[in-house]
A and B are shown apart, each in its own frame.
Chain A
């Protein structure tokens, strides 16, 4: 007979069914014992914050049979890169919802990323939960230690989408120094960051996930962005932390990027639920390929003017002048597709909590390689099955990955296929059967597929596919990172810039390096099992 150990559950105190917001619950120490690499914290205390209110509301609406609403997510964009990508994301999100929601009613899908605010009401109130859209405000917090990028956003077409109270800026910048971002600005802005995050959480009925967008190679995104992760973990332990990290390419012009990246990696290892690594070189290659196809004048290949590959600012042809625009759009697309099955209906839904559950077999192995297809739409909309199958094939090719990686020739731990648009279960199954033989899955997860079908396609496409792979192909990126780091560190080059910051010691670097090495070892061990034959383990023998 299975008895569920009460102490291990989220039991409210005093037998009350619904705790007060902010109330402290105690958990048994069984909880979280598996999160080995997490920094030690007193296991036992948990603060509910806004969730307490939501739970009570959920109960009431159940009794009266009202329709429940969905969960919300908050985007935290940090640093120059983070904010530029974030800006593209909000632009695309608005366009996607505008295309889907023709009547201008504030519905649950929109509420996942936007608040509906009555601008006539002064102050912070004025949130409208349903009815016509009055003014949409992004559920976002924008952080940058320089003013340039954020100011540009606030003067651009998206200025009304952001609340001035959602910003944290400084003027001096982090000087491409992780220590400045993490230690100096971290402590200086801790209170303000906490306050803005709490505010954004309070505006949510049921907050499910924080999406942090940043780059690894600089100072603000890398240092302050990862400082944030610890804050989020302490303050909102039940809310997922999904991090989109732009890794420096080989020819990065920031000399100290290996230091910044490796110091940030340690934080990602310990405080992120899921990391989606991206690198600029891969994005650039993808954009170049699209350009090639478009300009080659191949039969019927045109970019649909409203497709999500273009930004609303101009057509795709301008990409050579502003390559980052098109590149950022791809990342923005990634985030939209990731959340599409949670926001829109479909015959096989996939919520954000399912991503972590299915794709993270061990807590430390939470790096997911992503690929998006198709990246451009051909002129005809009614795509015959052969083209549909091509979409699946492309998702596994190394040219479509958003990071330099070749999943087909490495080992899969788990794979998720999130399909949007007019695709049915039989199409999905046919393609899995077709592609499976050419892919290598780890012995204990031979059928490690997680699938979802969302009925709503992205704007300008009839269908699309996002593939998320937990695959050892991510290892070379880490190995390269460590090599670049060691080359610099051996010479102690530029180290004094870091060590002169209070709280920084050489041990920070050595600890970060060993954290990364431990991760690489895990991947190596898995890779070693690749060529071994898959044997069934002896089963339990029972008496009949």
Chain B
């Protein structure tokens, strides 16, 4: 089953390139620990998910590149072509000249409708190349104008057109201290819209990844390239083929088949006391955790710690909330690796902060004229705030 990736804006395209590169390099990484047959099955599965075949043997990424100004797409296309390993489709990109000016309203209300058809056609062409479509992986940032605004619009479109396919958005959470001054407005608008049309939001915070580069990898002068590579590495270890539950010889067919369903408590259960944000928590309470193990000794790993009820909300049994996928084929050059995908309270504080800052700015009406100019009114802001406050509250009561 295949995944169609949509890369939006500068961030989306820069990361998208690194992701495909990481996936390709991993799948062609020489493996000493797995059998030849295992390795070939892995490669084939990876290929089917992310690449389509080309005549002269260079795989083409199953991706659509969208940006409202040309520089980044041009760069991304040439980087891929120059690598000689894989490339993007010749007609898979859509760009304009003027950019979105960091304006969510411009990305959503102007670029969205204006280019709806063209982008839809590009995505459809990519979908038609797939034997069976598993879903969409949409890479975007929240802080800018194209990834955020146009990204929200495109996701909504995909929801309408492909309501049976999974849509997962990879969102880049901006640095706390500004990359863009109106990033909080853009983030609030993006999240509230995605909540209505996306199936899953996979979040990476720039601050967190930056810390990884600084503290764990000891990189002295960290560039966005470094950050994107770490990100791609994490994503690769999640999305590469994993064994399905049935047996060790078949790779899971649906790569995005993570059970994201949240089952809230049924009415009639005892009222749970609210947990305040300030409470001393050793772990963020989780609703669902997925652990992906790759490499040596995956079957003998001790995972009891993940089943501790203290990690999970009181209305869930750990057995329902915790899943583990084990694959013997190692990831890249790592003998053993583990990736954890978690639906928990870890984002409550950052989300709360963004909503708080955006609210403060909104109260003074600063920059609002830039949004109303393009059809996003104050009520739209208020709707978005209300929705996100609810999300924060819901997570807090876990």
Contact = CB atoms under 8 A, between A and B. Distances in A.
Contact of A65 (B90, B101, B176): B90
Contact of A449 (B108, B177, B225): B177
A206 B70 CA distance: 12
A32 B369 CA distance: 8
A429 B72 CA distance: 22
Interface stretch (A5-13, A185-193, A295-303, A402-410): A5-13
Interface stretch (A255-263, A358-366, A484-492, A514-522): A358-366
B221 interface: yes
A208 B98 contact: yes
Given A31-B373, A539-B389, A426 B221 contact: yes
Interface in B137-183: 145, 175-182
Contacts of B363: 444, 537
17 contacts: A5-B375, A35-B369, A62-B94, A62-B115, A206-B97, A348-B179, A351-B99, A353-B99, A354-B145, A357-B182, A426-B214, A436-B177, A448-B181, A451-B178, A540-B389, A542-B393, A544-B393
B374 A9 contact: yes
Given A9-B109, A358-B182, A537-B360, A429 B177 contact: yes
B372 A34 contact: yes
A71 interface: yes
B118 to A, nearest CB: 5
Contacts of A246: none
Contacts of A353: 98-103
A10 B110 contact: yes
A26 to B, nearest CB: 15
Given A446-B357, A542-B390, A427 B221 contact: yes
A500 interface: no
Interface in B248-272: none
A539 B356 contact: yes
A30 B375 contact: yes
Contacts of B219: 426
Nearest 7 pairs of A and B residues by beta carbon: A353-B101, A34-B369, A65-B91, A449-B178, A426-B222, A361-B366, A68-B70
Contacts of A206: 97-98
A449 B181 contact: yes
B196 interface: yes
B360 A2 contact: no
Contacts of B368: 34
Interface stretch (B282-290, B295-303, B380-388): B380-388
Contacts of B180: 354, 358, 450
A351 B67 CA distance: 13
A446 B368 CA distance: 17
Contacts of A54: 97
Contact of B118 (A1, A5, A8, A59): A59
A359 B397 CA distance: 39
A339 interface: no
Nearest to B214: A426
Contacts of B102: 353-354, 357-358, 450
Q: Indicate the member of B101, B110, B374 with the most A CB atoms within 10 Å.
A: B101
A110 to B, nearest CB: 14
Given A65-B91, A68-B70, A536-B356, A347 B225 contact: yes
A348 B389 contact: no
B71 A345 contact: yes
A33 interface: yes
Contact of A424 (B109, B222, B393, B397): B222
Interface in A443-493: 443-451, 453
Nearest to B394: A544
Interface range for A:
35 or more
A499 interface: no
B41 interface: no
Contacts of A9: 109-110, 113, 374-375
Interface of B: 10, 14, 69-75, 90-103, 108-110, 113-115, 117-118, 145, 175-182, 193, 196, 210, 213-214, 219-225, 227, 355-357, 359-361, 363-370, 372-377, 380, 382-383, 385-386, 389-390, 393-394, 397
A34 B71 contact: no
Interface of A: 1-2, 4-5, 8-10, 17, 30-35, 54, 58-59, 62-65, 67-71, 108, 205-206, 208, 345, 347-349, 351, 353-354, 356-363, 413-414, 424-427, 429, 432-433, 436, 443-451, 453, 536-537, 539-542, 544
A177 to B, nearest CB: 35
Contact of B10 (A8, A348, A444): A348
Contact of B366 (A63, A205, A444): A444
B366 A362 contact: yes
A59 B111 CA distance: 12
B74 A67 contact: yes
A349 B71 contact: yes
Nearest to A71: B97
Given A5-B377, A8-B109, A30-B375, 14 more contacts: A10-B110, A62-B115, A65-B90, A345-B75, A353-B99, A357-B182, A361-B366, A362-B366, A432-B177, A450-B179, A536-B356, A539-B355, A539-B356, A542-B386
B181 A358 contact: yes
A4 B394 CA distance: 28
Given A4-B375, A70-B70, A537 B359 contact: yes
A203 to B, nearest CB: 15
A1 B365 CA distance: 22
A362 B73 CA distance: 33
B181 A445 contact: yes
Given A424-B221, A426-B221, A33 B178 contact: no
Which of the listed residues B69, B214, B227, B394 has the most CB atoms from chain A within 10 Å of its own CB?
B69
A43 to B, nearest CB: 12
Contact of B373 (A32, A62, A64, A347): A32
Contacts of A8: 109, 374-375
A62 B118 contact: yes
Contacts of A70: 69-71, 97
